[in-house]
Amino acid sequence: MRLAFIILLLANLVLFAWGQGYLGEADAGREPERLQQQIEPGKLIILPAGVASAAPAVVEFCQRIEGLSATAADTFKKSGIAETPGWTVTLIPEKETSGHWAVIAQLPSRVVAEKKKAELRQLGVKEGQVVEDAALGPFAISLAIFRSQALAEEFLQSIVRKGVRSAQLAKRELPPERMAVELRAPKDELTRKLPELLAPLTDARVADCATP
């Protein structure tokens, strides 16, 4: 009886020592031990089921390429860069211009306009194209369009000397001489690609886009 009591007491002591971790690595997997071994547990975030972590935001960047001819700007837009995912290409006229149009206006029909054109040929005026124009028509004969008013007036005087009395100068909107292209794209992509895009555009200038 006494021997059984001593054995039971020793067994309890062994269990107590094992439970307290005094016997070494046997308790390394206990939950309190695992909690102590966690690295920065405060940064652990548990998301609800079905919610994915947010992807890093893409930083959009905008650069403006200025000083392009209308042809160069149009070619640039059609180059395929506008089809790149995440890229936007916008053509912007740098300056709207008005031209000076030498014209014979207020002709009531195409027949009358063609007859007038034949008379111009007899007077030695080779210029002249019959056009329909709601403001100056219904039909008119377009003789020439000038950006410079001085050149337009000089032309008008030259045909007056040939006997043309019905020609006049009118305002005419002209395509802009220069265009700008605005590029909007992810910043890293645009920064990497921009030098390649500028290489064939020798007269182009780069500027920041205007703030919306």
Res 59: pLDDT: 78
Pair 114, 161 in one domain: yes
How many domains is the chain partitioned into structurally?
Answer: 2
pLDDT band for position 14 (50/70/90)?
A: low
Residues 168 and 189 in one domain: no
Is the domain of 159 the same as that of 108? Answer: yes
Q: Does residue 16 form part of some domain?
A: no
User: With the CA atoms of 141, 145, 151 and 153 taken in that order, what torsion angle do they form, in degrees rounded to the nearest 10?
Assistant: 40
Distance from C-alpha of 55 to C-alpha of 58, rounded to nearest angstrom: 9
For residue range 114-166, list pLDDT tens digits in order.
Answer: 999 999 999 998 888 899 887 887 999 999 888 888 899 999 999 999 999 99
Which tens digits make up the pLDDT trace of 60-119? 889 888 888 877 887 777 777 778 888 888 888 876 667 889 999 999 999 999 999 999
Structure tokens at 71: 């042809």
Same domain, 160 and 133: yes
Q: Is residue 103 part of a domain?
A: yes
Q: Where are the alpha helices (DSSP H) in the chain?
A: 2-19, 31-37, 70-77, 110-122, 149-160, 187-198
My answer on whether 119 and 163 are in the same domain is: yes
φ and ψ at residue 102, rounded to 5 degrees: -85, 120
pLDDT at 51 over 70: no
**Domain check: are 75 and 117 in the same one?**
no
Say if 18 falls within a structural domain: no
90 and 103 fall within a common domain: no
**Residue range 22-32, pLDDT digits in tens:** 555 544 545 55
> Do 101 and 199 have their domain in common?
no
Shared domain check, 139 and 115: yes
Measured on CA atoms in the order 159, 164, 165, 167, is the torsion positive or negative? Answer: negative
Residues constituting the chain: 212
Query: Which range marks the domain in which residue 135 is found?
Result: 97-174
* Same domain (yes/no): 148, 189: no
Q: Is 92 within 8 Å of 181 (Cβ atoms)? A: yes
**158 plus 106 within the same structural domain:** yes
Residue 184 lies in a domain: yes
Residues 126 and 155 in one domain: yes
Q: Which CATH number belongs to the domain containing residue 130 in this structure? A: 3.30.70
Classify residue 155: in a domain, yes or no.
yes
In angstroms, how far apart are the furthest CA atoms of the chain?
148
| Lowest-pLDDT range of 10-14, 165-169, 198-202 | 10-14
For residue 124, tell me if it sits in a domain. yes
Return the CATH number at 192. Answer: 3.30.70.120
Q: Which of 140, 139, 135 shows the shortest CA–CA distance to 173?
A: 135
Average pLDDT over residues 13-21: 63
Q: Are 64 and 212 in contact (CB under 8 A)?
A: no
87 within domain boundaries: yes
- Is 162 a member of any domain? yes
